[in-house]
Amino acid sequence: MKKYFVVLTLVLLFLGCSEGYSQKIYWTDGSSGKLQKHNIDGSGITTDVLTGLSSGYALAVDNDAGELYWTDFSAATIKKININSLTVTPILSSTDGLLSPRGIAIDGNNNRMFWADNSTKKIQRSTLTGTGVTDIVSTGLVSPGYVAYDPLNSKVYFADNGVGMKKIMRCNVDGSNLEDVATSLNQVWGISFNSLDNNIYWIDSGVDKIQKGNVSALPVTKADVVTGLTGNPRGLAINAAGLLIYWTDNSTQDISRATTSGASVTQLFSGIPYPQGVAINWDSALPVELVSFNSSIDKNSVKLNWTTSYELNNKGFSIERKSDAEFKEISFVNGFGNSNNNQSYTFNDVNLRTGKYSYRLKQIDLNGNYKYYALSNEVTIGAPQQFILSQNYPNPFNPVTNIEFELPKNSFVDLKVFDITGKEVSSLVNQSLNAGYYQFKFDASGLSSGSYFYKISAGNFTSMKKMIVVK
């Protein structure tokens, strides 16, 4: 029988260059009242993004929107600035109940932000425009400070430096399931979550260390990353690939960098009077170049193929299919993480009914950001051209085999199994079916070894084939 293959292809525009994404590092200077930036590789010069801050404390970046958020505990405000237009937008103030906001974290995908208010002793949440202010942790805290967010598991992390606390905790976005993450700490300043290695990183200025712990088991087992810090380290950030950590120190007046293993400690910028919060932005929020996405049809199966030429921080691809009103996830394919080479992916969507289908990929990076890529055409699974009863597989078998048949039109189908004497041993189908491709499993666990027959009747079509059970 002939097989017909149809190929639909969508070629996508590059999302960036293969040499990587241009990253900027931002920080607040509490002495000069400035928000500043620099190329993260050290090239160029330091640029003032904004002046006139009262006491800029913590920073958080929404790469998709190209916006930078910060808390100002002296002014009791949370504001944001568009990185490109430099437009400043007030979000929350004392009129919204803020007294002394400290750490802040952004969940751009779900339009929400989280912050700690040191004076009200709360962890709170709102939309990115400041509506719907909600207490998520409002009791039991003493001196909450820095905040981090895990977008893949929807967990909010925060530090409490209060007497008798000195620990990092986490909870769900609604405040439920409050858990201790790292205990017996001294003075926690910056914290940052790394989705690439599932570690929470923090600065403990009481022991002059940057430490980390894997959150797969709580409380974490603390591991030293950078030791022998001198001064007063504060803010902490992790780059897009999850491979480098950056921190500020307002006593040594500098910003430094190291790998997440603690190697290659490097002073990047010096002579900053009082650096505090730090954040990293990259020009494109989704550092993956998807160069092709195509499909091929074989009977009632669709094979999806796509290729990337560059990947940075790529968790993988959710495969979504629509046959009626909305897209639904049908599978997930892991990405390569980081790659400068062409990477090919394949997924087979099998045993589809006759009809029209749309497909799209939801590419998700390890920071939780995502973007959709869709085929430009619908995929049509047509009706078979004739009645067919196929040979079962596997054959011989023990104890389960597959029986397939094709219907070119709607029919009442009767599919039965008989032993060698003609006695019926199983009825697999006895109902009306639409035109299409069908597969049924036959379990011979209750039968002895030997030869059996399966017979189909569909309208005027009748066919019978032999199968063998071997035990």
How many degrees, rounded to 5, is the angle at CA 113 between CA 77 and CA 194?
Answer: 120
pLDDT reported for residue 19: 32
Q: How far apart are CA 170 and CA 148, in angstroms?
A: 9
pLDDT reported for residue 4: 33
* Tokens 């570690």, residue located: 199
Q: How far apart are CA 288 and CA 337, in angstroms?
A: 10
Q: Are the C-beta atoms of 258 and 225 separated by less than 8 Å?
A: yes
Q: How far apart are CA 121 and CA 425, in angstroms?
A: 71
Q: How far apart are CA 319 and CA 309, in angstroms?
A: 19
- Residue 281's closest CA among 239, 234, 236, 243? 239
pLDDT digits (tens, 9 = 90+) for 314-349: 899 999 999 877 899 999 999 998 787 889 999 999
Q: Are the C-beta atoms of 377 and 363 separated by less than 8 Å?
A: no
All structural domains of the chain, each given as residue ranges with its CATH number in brackets, are 5-14+286-381 (2.60.40.10), 23-282 (2.120.10.30), 388-469 (2.60.40.1930)
Q: How far apart are CA 131 and CA 169, in angstroms?
A: 25
pLDDT digits (tens, 9 = 90+) for 187-245: 998 999 998 789 999 999 999 999 999 999 999 999 999 999 988 898 999 986 677 99
pLDDT one digit per residue (tens) for the chain, 471 residues? 333 333 333 333 223 333 334 578 999 998 899 999 998 878 888 999 999 898 888 999 998 788 999 999 999 999 999 998 999 999 999 999 999 999 999 998 899 999 999 999 999 999 999 999 999 999 999 999 999 999 888 999 999 998 888 999 999 999 999 999 999 999 998 999 998 789 999 999 999 999 999 999 999 999 999 999 988 898 999 986 677 999 999 899 999 999 999 999 999 999 999 999 999 986 544 568 888 999 999 888 999 999 998 787 789 999 999 987 789 999 999 999 878 788 999 999 998 888 889 999 999 887 777 888 998 778 988 889 899 999 999 999 999 999 999 999 999 999 999 999 999 999 999 999 999 889 999 999 999 999 999 999 999 999 999 999 999
- Residue 68's closest CA among 110, 113, 101? 113
What's the residue count for the chain? 471
* Bridge partner list, 89: 80
- Residue 297's closest CA among 399, 380, 401, 410? 380
3-state secondary structure of 445: coil
Spatial CB neighbours of 423, under 8 Å, sequence gap ≥ 6: none
Backbone torsion region of residue 205, taken as left when φ is above 0, otherwise alpha when ψ lies between -120 and 50, otherwise beta? alpha
Residue 383: Cβ within 10 Å count: 16
